[in-house]
Amino acid sequence: MAGSSLDVLQNLPRITLANLRPEPGARKNEKRRGRGQHGGNRSGRGHKGERQRGTRPRLGFEGGQTPFYLRIPKYGFNEGHSRRPQYQPLTLKRLQYLIDLGRVDPSQPIDLTQLVNARGVTIQPLKRDYGVQLVDEGSDIFAAKINIEVQRATEGAIAAIERNGGIITNSFYDPISLGILIKPVPFFMRGQPIPKRMLPGEDMVPYYMSAENRGYLADPEEIQQARRALAQKYGYVLPDISKDELCHMLAMRKDVRQIFFGLSPGWVVNMPEKKILKPTDEKLLQYYSS
Amino acid sequence: FVLCFHHKMSLGLLTLRALRGAPGLCRRTPAATGGLRAASSAAPRDKRAVITESTEEYKFVERLIPPTRIPDPPKHVGAAPSGWTPPAESPPPLPYMIRRSRMHNIPVYSDLTHGNRRMTLVRKVEGDIWALEKDVREYLRQVTGKELPTQVNEVTMTLKVKGHFEQELKDWLASKGF
């Protein structure tokens, strides 16, 4: 029976506008109220009053009583919504899916650039996105040892990654650095030197300096203590990373002012000739290393 | 806290010098593509500035370039932790075949129109689509106990089923080996 309707069509005459007809019962005429013999007289409008005469007041009017939409006072729920930082959520389930399909390489440190190159998340820095946040949906399925760097993470997500022997860091990217991080190739084609990554603003500094959030500005010893405390809270044995063969890769971390791994601020990348140009003037070096 | 503020203060003083210094870099390298800086009419003091070139760190740049082709998934024994199953090595001996999408997933999608019309769509069907329709109807009758209306489109080789059965159909097709 495969392709039967196409075979039948080949033997029938040519389809023209005169040959087409809808399936019986497919098109039903619309219901028109109030026309004709038994719908006539008042034509479905009722008896006198505003209903029949079509002069009813606007929607929400309550006959003079203060209507509901004016009784309730205004409150700034959405005030300043365009000044609030947003973080695109990334579930552990999706991260595991990306690793399973080979789109994200777990043997290299996972960065926002790697996630965007794998088309795992879409970040719009112009819509007040400040990065990606790791959400712990799928933490029970997650089984991959990775070195991941995000901008925000829930406690459950941190626990799930550390339970599998990975490392998670929360670091801050200001909007310009974020735009460069997401699309490095158009930035390199511009020919500008790689800028320094700015430090977080006053309100975000406590978040990135606390060890519970694994902030990049926090003290390493405090982070170790926080890892042990979290393992005790969630009830798993904290695996020892220093004995791992990928220890060197897992311990790789970016400098506070660095945007890309291996590339310092101040360098210019020449893509057509595959070269990197570095400044030698001491004032520039001092500026870029401050 | 104090350290951070100090950082920001020193930045403000040094950015001006950086702006004046950077155009020298751009001008030195006519080969580097990119936008022209308007401030490149800098003082002749840039003749002193020397730049070093290197190619060792270019491998870090190559890591940042996004791939142009979808990578092949690595070999898994059975199901992956996320629930993804690879297709069987040889296609199953059935009169129809359902290809995987370009992201290596099973092409079954749920649709919702007019806010309340639920449909499940099976795309990328090859071969005898009516046999597939019969099997799908039989399987869903066992699962739900209801006779569900289906629609076969022989031109686009797709199958629509009334109701949301995306997960059930995906599991059933994966178990068949598609």
Neighbours of A113 (CB within 10 A): 21
What pLDDT, on the 0 to 100 scale, is given for residue A207? 96
Split at pLDDT 50, 70, 90, the class of A244 is confident
Neighbours of A221 (CB within 10 A): 9
Distance from CA of B76 to the nearest CA of A (A): 8
What pLDDT, on the 0 to 100 scale, is given for residue A3? 59
Query: What CATH code is assigned to B97-176?
Result: 3.30.780.10
Among A139-148, A215-224, B31-40, B55-64, the minimum mean pLDDT is found in: B31-40
What pLDDT, on the 0 to 100 scale, is given for residue A34? 84
Q: Indicate left, alpha or beta for A57 from its phi (over 0: left) and psi (-120 to 50: alpha).
A: beta
Interface test with B, best of A15, A207, A270, A285 (most B CBs within 10 A): A270
Average pLDDT over every residue of A112-128: 95
Q: pLDDT at residue B1 above 80?
A: no
Q: pLDDT at residue B27 above 50?
A: no
Q: pLDDT at residue B5 above 50?
A: no
What pLDDT, on the 0 to 100 scale, is given for residue B42? 42
By C-alpha distance, the chain A residue nearest B95 is A2
A147-150/A129-135 β-pairing: unpaired
Average pLDDT over every residue of A71-85: 95
* Element (DSSP H or E) covering residue B131: helix B129-144
What pLDDT, on the 0 to 100 scale, is given for residue A242? 81
User: ipTM of the assembly?
Assistant: 0.79
Distance from CA of A47 to the nearest CA of B (A): 35
- Coil, strand, or helix at residue A70? helix
Chain A neighbors of B57, CB-CB under 8 A: 262-263, 267, 276
By C-alpha distance, the chain A residue nearest B74 is A102
DSSP A2-63: TTHHHHHHHHSPPP-GGG--PPTTTS-PPP-TT-STTT-TTTTS-SSHHHHHT----TT-BB
Interface test with A, best of B25, B77, B125, B153 (most A CBs within 10 A): B25
By C-alpha distance, the chain A residue nearest B52 is A278
Instruction: Tell me whether residues B22 and A117 touch, CB distance under 8 A.
Output: no
Distance from CA of A43 to the nearest CA of B (A): 30
Average pLDDT over every residue of A110-117: 95
Q: pLDDT at residue A111 above 90?
A: yes
Average pLDDT over every residue of B1-10: 40
Chain B neighbors of A201, CB-CB under 8 A: none
Q: pLDDT at residue B30 above 60?
A: no
Instruction: Tell me whether residues A101 and B52 touch, CB distance under 8 A.
Output: no
- Residue with more model confidence, A132 or A32: A132
Distance from CA of B58 to the nearest CA of A (A): 6
Q: pLDDT at residue B177 above 80?
A: yes
Both structure tokens of A151: 């901008």
Q: pLDDT at residue B142 above 90?
A: yes
By C-alpha distance, the chain B residue nearest A3 is B154
Residue in B57, B67, B76 closest to A263 by CB: B57
Distance between CA atoms of B125 and B139, rounded to whole angstroms? 17
Instruction: Tell me whether residues A290 and B103 touch, CB distance under 8 A.
Output: no
Sign of the Cα pseudo-torsion (A221, A222, A227, A229, in order): positive
Q: pLDDT at residue B24 above 50?
A: no
Chain B neighbors of A9, CB-CB under 8 A: none
Instruction: Tell me whether residues A117 and B67 touch, CB distance under 8 A.
Output: yes
Quick: pLDDT tens for A172-189.
999 999 999 999 999 999
What pLDDT, on the 0 to 100 scale, is given for residue B48? 52
What pLDDT, on the 0 to 100 scale, is given for residue B131? 95
What pLDDT, on the 0 to 100 scale, is given for residue A79? 95
Distance between CA atoms of A166 and A159, rounded to whole angstroms? 10
Distance from CA of B111 to the nearest CA of A (A): 21
What pLDDT, on the 0 to 100 scale, is given for residue A243? 78
Q: pLDDT at residue B45 above 50?
A: no
Per-domain residue ranges of chain B: 97-176
Give chain A's end-to-end CA distance (angstroms, integer): 75
Average pLDDT over every residue of A131-154: 94
Q: pLDDT at residue B8 above 60?
A: no
Widest CA span of chain A, in angstroms? 97
Query: What is the average pLDDT score of chain A?
Result: 92
Nearest residue to A209 via CA among A197, A198, A222 = A222
Asked if B161 and B136 count as a contact pair (C-beta separation under 8 A), the reply is yes
Distance from CA of B20 to the nearest CA of A (A): 10
Q: pLDDT at residue B31 above 60?
A: no
Average pLDDT over every residue of A2-25: 85
What pLDDT, on the 0 to 100 scale, is given for residue A6? 79
Q: pLDDT at residue B33 above 70?
A: no
What pLDDT, on the 0 to 100 scale, is given for residue A70? 96
Per-domain residue ranges of chain A: 86-289
Instruction: Tell me whether residues A283 and B21 touch, CB distance under 8 A.
Output: yes
